Amino acid sequence: MKKIAILAVALLAAAGCVAVKVKEVAITLTVDPPDAQIEVIGQGDLPGKSYSSPATIPMPEDHAMAAQSRVVISHKNYKTTVLQLGSVQGNSVRIRLQKTSPYRLKYSLVGPVRSADLTFRDKILAVTIAPRDQHIDLKIENLTQKPLTILWDSADYTDVSYKSHRVIPSSIKMENRGGQVPPQTIPVGGSLQVSVTPVDSISYAGEKKGYVVKPLFVLDDDSALSLKDKTVNIYLPVAIDGAIIPNYIFKIKIDDVIKDQAP
């Protein structure tokens, strides 16, 4: 009789009639200063969700979504810190924000077209660019009638010293930064919001139980003034029907270095 009962429960579960409760995995994030804003973004089409410190943040069960998810920690008087949710190790993380730099940068796009708001559009794609402290945000829209593939393994970032760096998109876990980066396909009429980070700026910090990213530019002292009129490049090769279109090199100019007033 006991065997029959067990078999019946198994059959009901297979038929979807028995709900099996799975324990949710989450991390606890404590931030200094405690009034910092915490927002989780990049979870597919879901809107960003805000938290307060200490925050209990659910870990997505889907590995791809966890890899794309970002925890953005911000405060008006401190540097913004971004954590890749899928790369956090352990279930408790403490973050101390650093004071903001005295300088900030103003950018424009100077290639392949000039654009004060860092936007580009042709018959194939539309791109919106937003440089951040540690990475560059991209929104890429497919304007063709065929799927568009981003060839991330060939993409790169050229810094102000003309040095080229491999990049990883935010869909890749930081611990996998040394491996081959698979392409991403944008469907017809679709778009992709992604952050790109130079691979060699990423390192593991044991005390933070996670990965840290060096800033793209040093803005902590007056040496930042030398960045004015310098340029950086993002090389973004794409393919349609297997044919590679290699000429998307987005040249970003630092138009001005602005010194913020002390609070």
Phi, psi of 48, deg, nearest 5: -60, 150
* Whole-number percent of the chain with pLDDT over 90: 51
| CATH classification number, 103-259, choose in 2.40.37.10, 3.90.550.10, 3.40.50.300, 2.60.40.10 | 2.60.40.10
DSSP 8-state secondary structure symbol assigned to residue 68: H
Does pLDDT of 21 surpass 90?
A: no
- 5-9, 30-34, 44-48, 246-250: which has the minimum mean pLDDT? 5-9
Task: State the virtual CA torsion across 19, 23, 24, 29 in degrees, nearest 10.
Answer: 160
The per-residue pLDDT of the chain, averaged, comes to 85
| 6, containing H or E segment | helix 2-14
Which range (97-106, 122-131, 134-143) has the least confidence? 97-106
Burial class from Cβ neighbours inside 10 Å (0-12, 13-18, 19+) for residue 136 reads buried
pLDDT of residue 10: 45
Determine contact, residues 80/72, Cβ cutoff 8 Å. yes
Q: Taking a C-beta distance cutoff of 8 angstroms, is the pair 85, 40 a contact?
A: yes
Q: What are the sequence ranges of the domains in the chain?
A: 24-96, 103-259
Range list of H helices, 15-106? 63-68
Task: Report which residue type is found at 99.
Answer: K
**Has residue 19 got a pLDDT over 50?**
no
Q: What is the pLDDT of residues 195-207, one digit of tens each?
A: 999 999 999 877 6
Give the residue carrying structure tokens 């099996």.
Answer: 20
User: For 39, which DSSP code?
Assistant: E
Supply the pTM of this predicted model.
0.68
Q: How confident is the model at residue 62 (pLDDT cuts 50, 70, 90)?
A: confident
Categorise residue 209: left if φ over 0, alpha if ψ from -120 to 50, beta otherwise: left
pLDDT, one tens digit per residue, over 75-84 is 877 878 888 7
Using the CB atoms, write b or e for 247-262: b if 16+ within 10 Å. Answer: ebebbbbbeebeeeee
Close Cβ partners of 86 (under 8 Å, ≥ 6 residues apart): 59, 60, 63, 66, 67, 68, 69, 173
Model confidence at 64: pLDDT above 50:
yes
Residue 43 has pLDDT above 80, yes or no: no
pLDDT in tens, 203-222: 987 766 678 889 999 998 89
| DSSP label at residue 233 | E
The band of 15, judged by pLDDT with boundaries at 50, 70 and 90, is very low
Instruction: Note the pLDDT of residue 7.
Output: 45
Helix (H) or strand (E) holding 156: strand 156-158
pLDDT in tens, 78-126: 878 888 777 777 788 888 887 777 899 999 999 999 999 999 999 999 9
By the 8 A CB rule, do 42 and 52 touch? no
Closest to 232 measured CA to CA, from 84, 123, 132 = 132
pLDDT of residue 18: 42
pLDDT at 24: 54
